[in-house]
Amino acid sequence: MSVCDVTIVGAGPYGLSAAAHLRTIKGLEVRVFGEPMSFWSGNMPKGMFLRSNWSATQIACPNGDLTLEAFQADRHTSFGLPVPIEQFIQYGLWYQCRAVPDLDQRRISRVERGANGFRLSTQDGEVFESRRVIVAGGIGSFARKPQQFQALPPELVSHTNEHRCFAGSSGKKFLVVGSGQSALESAALLHEAGADVEVVARARHIHWLQGWASTTLHHRMGRLTRRILYAPTDVGPAGLSQLLARPHLVRLLPRTVQDTLRRRATRPAGARWLVDRLQDVPVKLGRKVLSATPSGGRVRVRLSDGREITVDHILLGTGFAIDISKYEFLAPELMERMARVNGFPILKDGLETTVPGLHILGAPAVYCYGPLLQFVSGTHFASQSLMHSLLGAGFSGNGNERH
């Protein structure tokens, strides 16, 4: 049975960035599995835009040469902010071709303990071993569906991450639930596709990013002051942005402070450029969906304001609830040995779990390292931390690891 040094499971921004960094370690054999940018290309509607700033939309690379600017120059294309989702996907595929040209697009179906660390199985039956495993599985497994919608069939209710486009929605009535970016932008796209759309949310008001107050402040404060208050990672409000850009410091804070920071930085919010696109879409705030019942091929919805409406489909922009056990390729024996809190893995230096040699990148790391790790801009910290951890362990390839 073949044995490699490191296997990366997942080929989104975190997996690709980790591979690019680890391959700078001389003699280290790194295999990477997964369909490149699959969540972005298969689970986000066409016509969407990224709400992050330019620097925060870059996938980290070790030499600083795989940038959005380099992509534009190479492809003879041009775009600005907000970055269209289609262009970001193409950027990710371009990054993959240059950093991980030998990507194996097969799916890893099983990761379990092995004689040399871990034994992995591919979807078509290949079995091999790896001394370390890096999981960069994304958030697709964690879509949150509140209890009142769970009994409805998929033709009547779906999550925003289950749609690549909204073709065929013209003339149909949709209820969109949520007040964050995915809910609001999906509502705008549905409206523009000719659907009859209403948005309901528990929030009392919508938090708009880059609103008039923020824009005026940025205009007046000058470049130096902006750089002091806001980190390039673009996560969190003024001042807190700089702290959240340093996950190694966030990790040292008391648990209650960490939780408060995470809630503040990741509360539902929408990009300011959505306001005009939602002018003709009713948005009802401070309301809950009490029940949703099938009715003649449609859904009868009872709201907390006393109204009852019937719609063709309910679209849930209700976010994601991390539960690492939903990565079904991880064997039960690994889950039993992995310390967790409310579905989040407890991670050490190098984003290593309590299962030696098993690392987890991306959104599951936010409990220990803060909200930066659920955004593309977190690839910088994750990849560098991972690389330094392996180097610190004496992992130099060819099976040479200090224990």
DSSP for 45-103?
-TT-B--S-TGGGSPP-TTS-S-HHHHHHHHT----SSPBHHHHHHHHHHHHHHH-TT-
What are 390's two structure tokens?
A: 């392996």
Q: What is the per-residue pLDDT for 150?
A: 92
Question: How many CB atoms within 10 Å of residue 48?
Answer: 21
Model pLDDT for residues 278-325, shown as the tens digit of each residue: 999 999 999 999 999 999 999 999 999 999 999 999 999 999 999 999
Q: Contact 40/88 with Cβ under 8 angstroms?
A: yes
Q: What is the per-residue pLDDT for 53?
A: 92
- Based on the fold, state whether residues 167 and 308 are members of the same structural domain: yes
Is 239 within a domain?
A: no
Is 77 within a domain?
A: yes
Is 330 within a domain?
A: yes
- Based on the fold, state whether residues 156 and 294 are members of the same structural domain: yes
Q: What is the per-residue pLDDT for 400?
A: 58
- Based on the fold, state whether residues 37 and 113 are members of the same structural domain: yes
C-alpha separations of 265 from 206, 258, 374 in Å: 14, 11, 11
- Based on the fold, state whether residues 94 and 185 are members of the same structural domain: no
Three-state SS at 159: strand
Instruction: Write the CATH number for 111.
Output: 3.50.50.60
Mean pLDDT, residues 33-37 = 97
Mean pLDDT, residues 47-57 = 93
pLDDT-based confidence at 403, cuts 50/70/90? very low
Q: What is the per-residue pLDDT for 117?
A: 94
Model pLDDT for residues 236-255, shown as the tens digit of each residue: 888 889 999 999 999 999 99
- Based on the fold, state whether residues 15 and 117 are members of the same structural domain: yes
Instruction: Examine the fold and report which residue of 256, 283, 316 is the final residue of a domain before the chain moves on.
Output: 316
Is 306 within a domain?
A: yes
Domain count for the chain? 2
Q: Are strands 313-316 and 173-177 parallel, antiparallel or unpaired?
A: parallel
Instruction: Examine the fold and report which residue of 316, 334, 354 is the final residue of a domain before the chain moves on.
Output: 316
Is 49 within a domain?
A: yes
Whether residue 399 has pLDDT greater than 70: no
What are 250's two structure tokens?
A: 């966030």
- Based on the fold, state whether residues 41 and 169 are members of the same structural domain: no
Model pLDDT for residues 327-357, shown as the tens digit of each residue: 999 999 999 999 999 999 999 999 999 999 9
- Based on the fold, state whether residues 56 and 159 are members of the same structural domain: no
What are 49's two structure tokens?
A: 């835009």
Instruction: Examine the fold and report which residue of 281, 316, 351 is the final residue of a domain before the chain moves on.
Output: 316
DSSP secondary structure string for all residues of 377-395:
GGHHHHHHHHHHHHHHTT-
C-alpha separations of 164 from 80, 136, 353 in Å: 22, 22, 33
Model pLDDT for residues 56-90, shown as the tens digit of each residue: 999 999 999 999 999 999 999 999 999 999 999 99
Residue numbers of the domain that contains 201: 147-207+270-316
Is 90 within a domain?
A: yes
Is 402 within a domain?
A: no
What are 184's two structure tokens?
A: 């609001």
- Based on the fold, state whether residues 101 and 203 are members of the same structural domain: no
- Based on the fold, state whether residues 311 and 334 are members of the same structural domain: no
Is 104 within a domain?
A: yes
Percent helix, strand and coil across the chain, each to the nearest 5: 35, 20, 40
- Based on the fold, state whether residues 156 and 193 are members of the same structural domain: yes
- Based on the fold, state whether residues 163 and 312 are members of the same structural domain: yes
- Based on the fold, state whether residues 117 and 161 are members of the same structural domain: no
